[in-house]
Amino acid sequence: MPGILEGVRVLDFGRYIAGPYCTTILANLGAEVIRIEKLDGSEDRYTTPVTDKGEGAMLMQMANSKKGLTLNPMKPEAKEVIRRLVKSADVVVANLPIESLQAMGLDYESLKEIKEDIILTHQSAFGDTGPYKNRVGFDGIGQAMSGSMHMSGDAETGPRKLNSPWVDFTTAMVGCIGTLSAIMHHRATGEGQLVMGSLFGSSVLISIAALIEQDMLNLDRQGIGNRGYNGGPSDTYKTKDGWVLVQSIGNPLFKRWCDLIGEHHWLEDPRFATDQDRGDNGHIISERMAEWCAERTTEEAIKAMEAVRLPCGPVLSPQEVLDDPHLAAMGLLESVEYPGLEKAARISNFPLKMSKTEVSIKHRAPTLGEHTDEIMSSLGFSDAEIQELHEKRVI
């Protein structure tokens, strides 16, 4: 089944996650994506190394279904390479500082001079306006400056950053939505456009409930760790052999919890009349739930909570996630071979199923510069010209 974006060429000048995962989704939808990186390999190629050459786990995920080209865009001879690449493309994606884009001739105005209807998706740390627009940043900066770390920590341990880069992935998916919308606009009008996203903007979106509450009520909430501040029981609890997380929101779920512990007088207690009351007095509920969980193994606790339909889940280690039978049943991970790996890497399919449109991993990530000569030849460069550009370390 052909992908919905078959025939669309995307140039991926991105690094790490926000740009690269945006283009990974486009590739899974059928676009031809060319990953363009430094001659010796860009930094994100070697993050969390897993191969014998030091290539990283994130590369396996971010670069799947793409072709690989190496290029030094700062060399004078690279200008013609970039011109031909852009001329052949529909979309350029780059989560680089605007100064870097301008230096490489990849800013929107420069791209339009090459191809008037080009689409540029540009993600940055703080967007293109405001006092921080020229700052650089990573996922953690968004977590820190959105209020999320403040609300996730507690008085004892201080602010707490989530290990998984949710700001980066959110920015990538926002960028993909924008890119798909721009492609639809182009198909309707023939016009290209500039699509802009930011880590800060994405992190604020995800943190918005706490910001609205603060703006309206001025409560100055402090972090309370894993405990929810607008419901209960909502916390992590230690069992005899592990940890579980429980989330109860709404009166029906609170009643189920009371049924679970066999103490229905909690339903009549005014301290727990509403979700917000239960959040405000959550430490009392958590103390009681902690007692209940401490008397049971994780399996026993989960089984009892499932019986009353109370939302819960075990806190799993990465290995336990990999071994989880539901993960296998859903087919979320796909084993993909890669040179230098002792075994196939299990990478994640895009977690979406469509009845009429294929969304799938097409092939493994490219080795460094694997398709450089093939792509250069398709752009009209002769074998001699390609060899000369190699010798000059342009490609």
Residue type, 14: G
Residue extents of the structural domains in the chain: 9-206+328-391, 234-238+243-314
Q: Which strand ranges, in their side-by-side order, compose the sheet holding 193-198?
A: 66-70, 32-37, 9-12, 91-94, 119-124, 193-198
Report pLDDT for 155: 87
Q: Whole-angstrom Cα distance, residue 135 to residue 112?
A: 25
| Assigned superfamily of 234-238+243-314 | formyl-coa transferase, domain 3 (3.30.1540.10)
- In whole angstroms, what is the distance from residue 146 CA to residue 252 CA? 32
Q: Residue 290: CB partners within 8 Å, gap ≥ 6?
A: 235, 237, 238
122 within 8 A of 94, measured Cβ to Cβ: yes
Q: Give the pTM.
A: 0.94
The segments of the chain whose pLDDT lies below 50 read none
- Residues 12 and 24: their CA atoms lie apart, in Å, by 9
Do β-strands 312-314 and 243-247 pair in parallel, antiparallel, or remain unpaired? antiparallel
Rounded Cα distance between 237 and 243, Å, is 5
Fold of 9-206+328-391: Rossmann fold (3.40.50)
Nearest residue to 107 (alpha-carbon basis) of 194, 188, 191, 30: 194
> How does 263-280 read in b/e, with b if 16+ C-beta sit within 10 Å?
eeebeeeeebeebebbbb
Distance CA 264, CA 211 (A): 35
